[in-house]
Every structure is written in structure tokens, then in C-alpha cells.
Amino acid sequence: MKSFFLSISLFLSLPLASFSQTAKHVVLVSIDGFRPDFYREAKWPTPNLQRIAAEGTSADGVRGVFPSVTYPSHTTLITGVAPAQHGIYYNSPFEPDGATGRWYWEENLIKTETLWDAVRKAGLKSASVMWPVSVGAPIDYNIPEFWSLDKSVDRFTPVRQNTMPKGLMEEIELNATGKLTARDMSSDYVSGDENGSRMAAYLLETYKPNLLTLHVFGVDHAEHQDGRDGAHVRRALATADWVVGHLLEALAKAGIDKETAVIVTGDHGFVDINTALAPNVWLAQNGLYNAEKGDWKAQFHTSGAAAFLMLKDPKDKKTLAKVRQLLAAAPAEQRKLFRVVERAELDEVGADPNAALALAPVPGVSMSSAREGQVVRPGKGGTHGFFPDFDQIRTGFIGYGPGFEAGKVVPQMNLQDVAPLTAKLLGLPWQTSPAAPKVIKTATR
């Protein structure tokens, strides 16, 4: 049989309407902070992931988007295009007068077609559990990731209120999870991912959706605390592995395991942090970013390890020149901590079209939004958001079941490839954006 990935570059360059359905169902699991070493190296507590990687097709690395943070990345996973096209540029939108705590929660903010749209247009059924940017999405059984800006409201009540159809959460609590509280779904405890898995398993067994998307979030939380390794990371990762095994069992119980393709991927890798850089301090010290509301000419919108320069007047070339001068004049010990990503390169990688430029730090350095205090300060734990051009920030990919050949290895692919691949498996019409890079090769391990 011809290898699936021998022809992947060809099918990604063509309209997919001409391809027949390979799987009746696809389960798309995103493990937040997923890394290839989690299934490549035996030291990790991941027997399920290591098994399906060996029995399916896996990647040595998946190149992400910029910034390599959760919400833009998850939207790329279900649209096949970069942030510049789909419109979810960061986790939190840039708010000129100060951050309110709002994130890009609602699906109607996405500017391009999603897999959920394509499934509905084809008359098929979809389900989703805790996927970013999914509030109000055209999903038949939808438990979205969402929380309130009102600090007096617990984190799970908004999820319950926005679960569709109405009554679904109560049905799941009655039949699968028991009564849930915010603590039961917290990323501070492995029970958050366990309960998300129980929700997804119930939907698979009860409704047998053609597409199920699941966001597993605990590993990311642990890596932020501990960095790339640590006791918390290992517990969270063992739970994520259990989630995958639990879903495989659910497919078998539902009698659809032989006709279901399972994709396990992620949004970004992780990097250990020892230093934080606060570029807004430079702007504040030079009168470009003042404390009074609305009194600013330039400010950096930070997103994980990256910072994006926003101008109050996008045509203000004088202020832009001043910022460039400040960056160039930084002491050598500070200047070596980052590089300037110019607008042409931001366009090339599909980043926020509103940013005048961006700062991409070297590994080990993260950006701080502070505009007071020291420019350089100690950092700890781990983070992401880096320009996706080195191994540690790349995420992983495993494809298992119909359409995937055992033992095949892809040296590198792109986050943009997951949506058209999923559409191809389900036989859905899908036109890949010409702006999405295609860097997929084949190798056998």
C-alpha cells in the first residue's frame, strides 16, 4: 500500500472535494504544551501515546504559529490558516486602554471556515469539549472553554451556561461525571482533564459524532509552573496519556474504533525561563507610554514570550523611528536577549497585521508587560509564545487508525496541515489557503 504521507503534499495542494472519505469519525485531541519527546522518549509516563505513535504515523516536530500561544494555535488547528487569516491573533485581544482580562472566547470572531463549519455543511455531527474559541460555535454537542470577567463568578458556571444544547451538561453529570464544580475542572488538579475525558467519552459512546475536538489543558499549566520537567508535569502528562487511552476505550465500547481516525497533537512546545524582559519600560521612560489612560503613542502587547508593538496612530512614522532607536540603543547585555521581527517577516508567518514589529526573545527569556521597574528581571518556570523556529517550541503529532500507516515518521509538518488532513479523512470539501506553508516530508524510522 502506498504510504499516506508520500502523497500528503499533493493532496494538500488540491481541492479535497475529489477525495473519498477514509474514516467515518475523527477524534482530534489537543494536549496543550504537547512535545514530541513525550512519545519519542521512554522516560515519560505515556504508554498509550508511545503505542499509538509506533502503530500509527507520527511527527518529529510540528511548526507552530507566531505567537506560539494557545488560542491562535488552536484556531489554526481547526482552520488550517495562520492568525493573520483567521483573526485570532493572541489569547487576549489588544486593548489600547489596558487589559480587562478578556480573551478571544467566541467562535464568531474567527474569520475563516472551521472544521465545525465544514462538518455541519456536509450534514454530519460534531462535538467538542473545552476547545478554545468555541463559544457559540456550530457544534452539535458543545462544552466550550469560557470564564467570566466577574471575579465573583466561579470558573465553571459560564461553561455550564454556554454548553449546547441546553441540558447537555446535566445529562453528562447524571450519566458520566457526577455533579461538577469549578474545582473539579481546574487545571490545578488532574481531575480537570479526567472529567473532560469523561465528557468526551460519553459524547462518543452516546452520540457517535463524526468529529470530536478535545482540549487537554493540564500539561500546559504544569509546564508553566515547573518548566519542561518536574513532578507536576509528569502527573499531568500521565493523566493526558490516560485521557487518550480512555477515549480509545470509549471508541471500542461505541463500536466505532475500526472506523475512527485519532489525531493527537498540540499547540506549542515549552521553554524553561530564567529571565524576563519588560520593553514597555523603555517606552514609558521616553514618554511614549504614560500611566494615564489613553496617554500613549506606542506600547508592546505581550503574548507569552513575545511582544508586539502597537502604535496609537498606525501611520506615526516618527514614533516608530523613535522605538527603533530605543531598541538599537539598548545595552548589549539587553539587546542580545531578543531580535526584532520586522513587518515583512510578520507577514510571511501570518502574524497580527496590526503590529508594527515584534520582539522575539532568545530561549530562556520571556516578555513582561510591566512598564515600571527594571527592564531585565528574574524569570522562572516555563512558557511559550516564541517565534516557532527551534525544536523546543515545536509541538507534536500522532495519527492513528484509518488513513495512517504504522511506523511512518514525518520529520516536520506545520500546524496548518491538521485541518485539511482532518477534512481529507472525513471526505469533506476543503480548500487550503495558499498562504499556509506546506513543509511535509516522509521518512521511515
Interaxial angle between packed helices 418-426 and 70-79, expressed in degrees from 0 to 180 and rounded to the nearest 10: 40
Cell 449546547 found at? 164
The rounded Cα 445 to chain-centroid distance in angstroms is: 27
pLDDT given for residue 431 in this prediction? 76
Q: Which grid cell sits at 209?
A: 459524532
Q: What is the CATH number of domain 274-379?
A: 3.30.1360
Measured distance CA(430)–CA(318) in Å, rounded: 44
Q: Which residues make Cβ contacts (< 8 Å) with residue 151, sequence separation at least 6?
A: none
Distance CA 226, CA 273 (A): 10
Check residue 432 and give its pLDDT. 58
* Mean pLDDT of successive 10-residue stretches along the chain, which has 445 residues: 36 39 95 98 98 97 98 98 98 95 97 98 98 98 97 96 98 98 94 97 98 98 97 97 98 98 98 98 96 91 97 97 97 97 98 98 97 96 97 98 94 97 95 42 29
- Per the listing, cell 485521557 goes with 243
8 A C-beta contact, residue 346 and residue 357: yes
Write down the domain spans for the chain. 4-271+389-444, 274-379
**pLDDT computed for residue 10 by the predictor:** 35
CATH architecture of the domain 4-271+389-444 equals: 3-Layer(aba) Sandwich (3.40)
Q: Is 317 helix (H, G, I), strand (E, B) or coil?
A: helix
Question: Which residues in 392-419 are b (16+ Cβ under 10 Å) and which e?
Answer: bbbbbbbbbbbbbbeebbbeebbbbbbb
Q: How far is CA 324 from the centre of its chain?
A: 31
Lateral strand order in the sheet of 365-367: 365-367, 275-277, 376-378
pTM of the entire structure?
Answer: 0.93
Angular region, 283: left φ>0, alpha ψ -120 to 50, beta rest? alpha
SS3 at position 379: coil
